[in-house]
Structure 1
Amino acid sequence: LVIANMVKNGYYSPVRFHSSEYEELRVLMANRETVVKRLVSAVNQIHRWVDIVFPELRQVFKILTCKGALLTLRLFPLPADLCKLSPDDVIKGWQKYMKRHSGVRRAHLLIDLAKQTVGSKQATHAYKLHLEQLLEEHDLATKQLQRIEKEARDVVERIPYAGKILAITGISSIALVGVLGESGDLRGYAHGNALLRHAGLNLTEASSGKWKGQMTLSKRGRPRLRHFLYLITMCMVMNNQEFKALHHHNIKVKKLKKMKSIMKLCGKLARLLVGMVRSAAAYNPNKIFALAAYR
């Protein structure tokens, strides 16, 4: 009876079926999220392994996932292996796989630290096997991530209005893929506020009876869409001159807190995207943002 009453009163919205391109983007981005979690897990476990077995490696390589650090872990996984080698042997091992190796100074430092390490010297065979598996998982996840992102870029190129959106400074192809995969065709939205409601970024009031609560974000929508709209907004605040001016105006003139300004700019971004798509117009910062008012 409740459902029938809602249908009678028109409290419903029709289901929108997406075309093949948008469905492909949604599946690819869901797969990408899974692969990224595996990659982050592998990286965290590599950091843990280094802290246990060879913590001094951080003095040689500040970033343990750089090419030189990963190659060193592959070629000389244990400090005991490095103690048996000379700096020339380490450099020759690097040169087989890297044209620009880490240098003679780092080779000397690596061997000296290996001789003085405070890392665990027990169960070396098990630690070595564990590291090999972690590196294999890291390589597999990295390869899969690159393939997924390439496929996603190929699909987004088939969407007619994607080129105009990507011309905006601060919007990357992967971030746009994340938005389109969750929102579907932006031409199906009557206004940018509809996109905000779909993402759960619309304002709601938590009230009950005589008690009146504060205005908060509903968060009743697509969490992945909220994630990518937020990321795009942050990138545009850092790299896009128009959004940077708007953010500065919100903080200095309107006295908004930084996070409130970011949320306000998320709404501006949603209205910008839907407006550009529906009008088939190119990005015009002077027309859309009226920068003269903020300078």
Structure 2
Amino acid sequence: MPDHATEQLRELVRNRDRLVQDCGDSVRQLHRLLDLTFPDFKHHIALLDTVLALTILKAFPTATDVAAATPRRLAKLRHGPRHLVGDPLARQFIAAAKQTVAAQSGDVYRVRIRHACEDLALWRTRLLAIDAMIETLLDDHQVGRLLTQKVEAAAGCKVMNIMTGSGMPVSRKVA
């Protein structure tokens, strides 16, 4: 029978896996929305779950919004404590937005894009908190300490989960 710490780790990993799945769903939704509102966005920033992408999309969710922006305003957007979008990227975005083939730019799309960005930011924060909880539990757990000496915490936790999940003896599971 697994101990209390192992049960806690198992539930945290399940919750983390669900959050990762939700993040992926939200990123896919953002891709679909950008296909309608600003398909060229992905040519300049490939990963939509980055702080840079989310910052730009929250401020200027559609190509129409980007095209109406001044290069200075877009360039001055902060993503992170010390990073700015920058003038070269701002000018590239504005030029692409003015030439885009996107057909949708209404308030409905703005709201949906902003909601997807807010969801991703929230899930990122939750993932960081869960990762910290997993690290703490693994540090306090004997087997967890051994596993995380060689692998990262989430992987070590998954190994523990597999080892204690079935009725098979641990020695057979490791081999």
TM superposition score normalised by structure 1: 0.54
Distance (Å, rounded) in 2 between the aligned partners of 1:97 and 1:159: 34
User: Equivalent residues in 2 for 1:1-295 (5 A)?
Assistant: 17-92=1-76, 94-95=77-78, 98-121=81-104, 124-168=106-150, 171-184=151-164, 189=169, 191=171, 193=172, 195=173, 270-271=174-175
C-alpha separation between the residues in 2 aligned to 1:132 and 1:95?
A: 17
Q: Structure 2 regions of 5+ residues with no counterpart?
A: none
Q: Take 2:37 and 2:170, find their aligned partners in 1: how far apart are those partners?
A: 58
Mark the structure with the bigger radius of gyration. 1
CA apart distance, 1:113: 0.8
User: Given residue 184 of structure 1, which amino acid in structure 2 is its aligned partner?
Assistant: T
Q: CA distance change for structure 1 residues 98 and 162 in 2, over 3 Å: closer, same or farther? A: closer
Instruction: Give the AA of the match of 1:150.
Output: A
Compared CA separation, residues 105 and 167, structure 1 to 2 (3 A): same
The one-letter amino acid paired with 1:115 is: K
Which of structures 1 and 2 has the larger relative contact order (alpha carbons within 8 angstroms, sep 6+)?
A: 2
Tell me, which stretches of 5 or more residues in structure 1 are unaligned? 1-16, 196-269, 272-295
Report the Cα offset of residue 96 of structure 1.
7.6
Question: For residues 17 and 63 of structure 2, what CA distance do their matches in structure 1 show?
Answer: 35
The answer (yes or no) to whether the contact 2:79–2:85 under 8 Å persists in 1 is: no
Query: Shift in Å at residue 97 of structure 1?
Result: 5.4
Among the aligned pairs, what percent are the same residue? 22
Task: Name the SS for the 1:119 alignment partner.
Answer: coil
Conserved in 2, the CA contact under 8 Å of 1:26 and 1:182? no
Distance of 2:16 and 2:149 partners within structure 1: 24
Name the CA shift for 1:43/1:189 in 2 (closer, same or farther; >3 Å): same
**Post-superposition offset of 1:71:** 0.7
Structure 1 residue identity aligned to 2:163: S
- As a proportion of its length, which structure holds more helix? 2
Give the aligned length. Answer: 173
